Structure 1
Amino acid sequence: MDRASAPPETSPATSPVKQVICISWGTKYGPPYVNRLYGMVARNITPPFSFTCFTDDPAGLRPEIEAEPLPPLDVPMPTGTKGIWPKARLWSPTLGKLTGPVLFMDLDLVVVGSLDDFFSFGAPDEVILARNPNTPLERLGQTSLFRFPVGKLVPLQERFRADPQGVADTYRFEQRYVTREAPGGVKLWPAPWVRHFRYHCARTLPLNFFLPPKLPAEAKVVIFPGGLLPPHAIEGHWGPNYRAASPGEHLRGLFGDRPDPPLRYLRHYLRPAPWVAEAWRE
């Protein structure tokens, strides 16, 4: 399914086993999302690889998934912040039996191409993040998909542990904290590899009423920050406050109980995305 060739920055100096990790807590996503992620990884990676889920409840996970307890982080999580600060558990000195570089993947992303280049790009001791298109004037990474060596981010965790609320208030998002403070700095994946569904796939008005969301030609992974999730894209609606509707029904909603102001409501019409349905499966 991969349509991109390897860039010149790739390097063979990688672990022979490609180590993929994710984290799951609570009930928002759970085993169905973890199992789908495993299925997407297995279809789009050259073995050998491992897939480890750090979770508070391993029930319902596929037997191929290595389930590990959540790394301990006994501090109150920040409040009043948009950052996903429980990810700070992954900045521990150890992560189960894993050593060396690991590729972290959010549960709500969609794999649409080969993952192999994410393990050969850059050096094994580097921290490499996706690009955040939401802040074009700021070089900001996105932790939906990032690689780091186990233990390298311990200084970030220690500072966070000492003052969780203060760190969150200063940086707002955990990805800004990692981007700015990771030891040795960070590198970003080539932009075409990781695409943002809302920015790079969803059509703009008026094309969104006539064409389904597009799959960018060189994409390997599509991320879904901001509440619009793969099942919404499959069904053809913007998010939990919308419902799948025909164009006529959607336009009639302008005169009824709509979730957004008129122009935003029209921009948020979404046709179903068949390519998401094809990729996002166990």
Structure 2
Amino acid sequence: MSSAILAASGGVKQVICISWGTKYGAPFINRLYNMVERNITPPFTFTCFTDNREGLHPGILCEDLPPIGVEMPVNTRGIWPKSRLWGPELGSLKGAVLFLDLDLVIVSSLDPFFELGGPDDVVLAKNQTTPFERLGQTSLFRFPVGKLVPLQEKFKENPQWVADTYRFEQRYVSRCAPGGIKLFPRKWVLHFRQDCRWPFPLNYFLAPRLPSSARVVIFPRGLLPQHAIEGRYGSSAPAQTPLQHVAGVFNKEKRRKKGFFQYLRHYILPTKWVADHWR
């Protein structure tokens, strides 16, 4: 099926990302581009839809953020600005595109993501946090340009209602994509906290592991690649030795309302393999 998928895009693997505001910016976009370049068989394109092109690698094709004309929902955990990509056009791109979040880490070849399914399929990474729900993960997903227009139109009618109803944009895509969705193999896209870190008490003795099946590792909910490299469990957690962290279990201020066991589980050692790939 890979030949049919690539034929729809002129024989080129098309990778896209989106960036707005100041949370990520050029350093994250450039790292993502470099990881893609190292882990894909040419020909490929890497297109960033962004409101700020300053400092980007010359190999990155830049496009303005697609207009959508609505206020984004508030008080929701979904990343609803991704809905800008669901319109009838995406710059000059045609056929299947592979979307990647800016804060993931690519550790092996992306080629298989262009081989599974057909050119008209919407294919998502499996959401690892809901094993009993057929839910995709939009940190990494492939879709044909224009296929998700019905989702965008429904979203534009009442963005807040859609966000309140589905909570996360990936649930909206999973349940409402025209023709349904397919899922990439579970072991291809791993969740750093769930699949890589060790359970207590091994987390105090062993750095997070990289399973051999992984192609991409995602970092949702505030624990980003730079935190893994430094051995911090999120932006608010200091880098500590195991003994320093264990001592904090008796300090309510350091535990920050976490229970004893939850606090002890929320510790990781510095993770070298993340630095090796995230560059």
- Which range, TM-score by smaller chain? over 0.9
Alignment of 1:258-273 (within 5 A): 258=254, 259=256, 260-273=258-271
1:241 matched residue in structure 2: 236
1:14 aligned residue (5, 12, 28): 5
- TM-score normalised by length of structure 2: 0.96
Report SS of the residue matched to 1:144: strand
Report SS of the residue matched to 2:138: strand
Unaligned runs of 5+ in 2: none
How many Å separate the matches in 2 of 1:48 and 1:14?
Answer: 14
Report SS of the residue matched to 2:4: coil
2:198 aligned residue (194, 203, 216): 203
Distance 1:98 1:11, change over 3 A: closer
How many Å separate the matches in 2 of 1:144 and 1:133?
Answer: 12
How many Å separate the matches in 2 of 1:64 and 1:226?
Answer: 30
Report SS of the residue matched to 1:192: coil
Report SS of the residue matched to 2:98: strand
How many Å separate the matches in 2 of 1:89 and 1:130?
Answer: 20
Tell me, yes or no, if the aligned pair for 2:147 and 2:178 is still in contact at 8 Å: yes
Shift of 1:261: 2.8
1:224 matched residue in structure 2: 219
Q: Deviations over 1:11-64 (max 9, x none)?
A: 432221000000000000110000000000000000000000000111111110
1:52 matched residue in structure 2: 47
1:75 matched residue in structure 2: 70
Shift of 1:121: 1.0
Shift of 1:262: 2.1
Q: Deviations over 1:79-117 (max 9, x none)?
A: 111100000000011001100000000000000000000
Report SS of the residue matched to 2:5: coil
1:39 matched residue in structure 2: 34
Alignment partner of 1:135 is 2:124: no
2:18 aligned residue (19, 23, 42): 23
Q: Is the deviation greater in 97-106 or in 257-266? A: 257-266
Shift of 1:198: 0.8
Alignment of 1:145-156 (within 5 A): 145-156=140-151
Alignment partner of 1:167 is 2:162: yes
2:273 matched residue in structure 1: 275
Report the aligned-residue RMSD: 0.9
Unaligned runs of 5+ in 1: 1-9
The count of aligned residue pairs is 272
Extract structure 1 runs of 4+ deviating beyond 3 A: none
1:95 aligned residue (90, 98, 102): 90
Percent identity of equivalent pairs: 64
How many Å separate the matches in 2 of 1:128 and 1:42?
Answer: 22
Shift of 1:238: 0.7
How many Å separate the matches in 1 of 2:100 and 2:56?
Answer: 16
How many Å separate the matches in 2 of 1:133 and 1:193?
Answer: 11
How many Å separate the matches in 1 of 2:127 and 2:31?
Answer: 24
